[in-house]
């Protein structure tokens, strides 16, 4: 157990910063962003996030060229590109899910038929931002993260974070994708569901009547997949490692840490008994850790075998952008002519040696309609944390405090 505890405190030790904030969103200058808007956010502690944000019709918010600077440190690259890779809504009275991300529907779309929602004071508590070609599509706000850490008899450390979000509509439902960039270097992708539930049927096995004299609102499973392409600070190729902490009952119930290098394309599953997690790491050993502790539900569909996995690793290809309904074609010189329509095509045991890996991470939840979901669905949120790992030798705040 000592190894697990040590690992836990190692993560916490490198995540301790402090402060209030100073935010400066600025329009991208020529050459700064391939597309979208440059956003910079500086905290009073000295921590800084710098990134590009764009909004795409098919999947909403896209983050690219994201870099982080810890207090007293240099600005380091973190993420090359991150966005929703797929979003499925599977009503329990249907055999097939409703695919919410289908890029083919938006190839020739114009602003008049856009499903993107405009941000304003009614749905954005912060600053409304434009991106090139689109007006008022990103909400930028500062969130109070509360107590981050406390050392000895010193006052507790408070921290803040920058949240960027955009929303799109599918029928009567609203999906809001967001990325939260914390003062301590953490990144939290999330998707929330709201809007009005309109799918009803008379069979009580698949839903609940709310109010009691109406047809039942249908239960549904929400399944999300994120596409995460890291680009950590060093020029070498990043790699992905799997962490397990198996219980050794005959050795005093110890949980020694086991690290496995993942060097080929493959599907991954959560092992809750072994506290399994994954780390994206550069050549120095610094990186980001994904702990799937809040991923407590499974999803499967015979027509989508890829969805049975909790995660997947693929070699980077510019045209592999969506876990299903992928367009499969790209004019990019770094892409193959046809790279397939889903993760079932992408994952083929290809070696990751010398190739930047892409991590696909999935979560699912059940929407079980209740009284508070009538007439408007309460927010149903799925999110996860990416934690900096050995990013600095010690807590920048503790060192400077």
pLDDT in tens, 23-60: 444 333 334 788 899 999 999 888 999 999 999 999 99
81-101 residue pLDDT tens: 999 999 999 999 999 999 999
Per DSSP, what are the bridge partners of residue 134? 131
What are the Cα distances from residue 168, in Å, to 59, 188, 197, 375? 8, 19, 16, 19
Tokens of 219: 């239960």
The residue ranking higher by pLDDT, 393 or 254, is 254
Domains defined along the chain, listed by start: 2-17+84-231+238-400 (2.70.98.20)
Q: With bands split at pLDDT 50, 70 and 90, how would you rate the model's confidence at 109? A: low
Report how far Cα 151 is from the mean position of its chain's Cα atoms.
30
> Which of helix, strand or coil describes residue 244?
strand
Pairing of strands 173-182, 22-25: unpaired
pTM of the entire structure?
Answer: 0.87
- Looking at residue 161, its pLDDT comes to 96
351-387 residue pLDDT tens: 999 999 999 999 999 988 877 777 788 888 999 999 9
Please state, in angstroms and rounded to a whole number, the distance separating the CA atoms of residues 20 and 13. Answer: 20
Is 152's pLDDT higher than 80? no
- Looking at residue 157, its pLDDT comes to 77
The residue ranking higher by pLDDT, 152 or 55, is 55
- Looking at residue 198, its pLDDT comes to 80
Are 143 and 183 spatial neighbours (Cβ–Cβ below 8 Å)?
no
Are 160 and 146 spatial neighbours (Cβ–Cβ below 8 Å)?
no
Mean pLDDT, residues 379-397 taken together: 86
- Looking at residue 401, its pLDDT comes to 44
Q: Closest Cα partner for 168 from 129, 138, 133, 200?
A: 138
Going by C-beta distance under 8 Å and a sequence separation of 6 or more, which residues neighbour residue 96?
Answer: 90, 301, 303
Mean per-residue pLDDT of the chain: 85
Tokens of 301: 């569909």
258-268 residue pLDDT tens: 999 999 999 99
Pairing of strands 266-268, 311-315: antiparallel
């Amino acid at each position: 157990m000592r190894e697990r505890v040590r690992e836990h405190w190692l993560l916490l030790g490198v995540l301790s910063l402090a402060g209030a904030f100073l935010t400066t969103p600025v329009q991208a200058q020529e050459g700064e962003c391939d597309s979208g808007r440059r956003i910079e956010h500086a905290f009073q502690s000295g921590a800084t996030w710098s990134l590009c944000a764009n909004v795409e019709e098919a999947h909403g918010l896209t983050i690219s060229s994201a870099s982080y600077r810890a207090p007293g440190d240099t600005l380091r690259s973190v993420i090359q590109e991150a966005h929703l890779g797929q979003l499925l809504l599977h009503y329990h009275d249907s055999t097939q899910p409703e695919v919410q991300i289908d890029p083919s529907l938006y190839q020739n779309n114009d602003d008049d038929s856009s499903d993107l929602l405009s941000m304003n004071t009614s749905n954005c508590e912060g600053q409304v931002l434009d991106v090139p070609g689109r007006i008022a599509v990103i909400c930028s706000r500062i969130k109070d993260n509360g107590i981050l850490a406390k050392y000895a008899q010193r006052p507790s450390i408070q921290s803040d974070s920058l949240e960027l979000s955009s929303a799109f509509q599918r029928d009567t439902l609203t999906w809001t994708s967001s990325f939260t960039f914390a003062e301590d270097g953490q990144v939290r992708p999330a998707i929330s569901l709201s809007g009005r539930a309109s799918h009803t049927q008379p069979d009580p096995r698949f839903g609940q009547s709310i109010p009691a004299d109406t047809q039942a609102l249908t239960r549904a499973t929400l399944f999300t997949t994120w596409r995460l392409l890291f680009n950590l600070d060093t020029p070498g190729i990043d790699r992905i490692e799997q962490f397990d902490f198996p219980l050794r009952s005959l050795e005093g119930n110890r949980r020694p840490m086991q690290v496995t290098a993942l060097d080929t394309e493959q599907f991954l599953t959560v092992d809750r008994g072994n506290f399994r997690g994954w780390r994206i790491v550069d050549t120095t050993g610094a990186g980001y850790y994904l702990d799937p502790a809040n991923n407590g539900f499974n999803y499967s569909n015979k027509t989508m075998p890829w969805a049975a996995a909790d995660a997947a690793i693929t070699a980077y290809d510019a045209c592999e952008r969506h876990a299903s309904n992928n367009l499969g074609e790209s004019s990019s010189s770094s892409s193959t002519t046809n790279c397939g329509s889903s993760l079932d095509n992408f994952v083929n045991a290809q070696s990751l040696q010398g190739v930047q890996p892409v991590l696909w991470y999935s979560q699912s939840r059940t929407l079980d309609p209740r009284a508070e979901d009538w007439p408007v669905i309460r927010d149903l949120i799925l999110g996860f944390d990416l934690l900096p790992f050995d990013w600095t030798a010690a807590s920048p705040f503790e060192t400077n405090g």
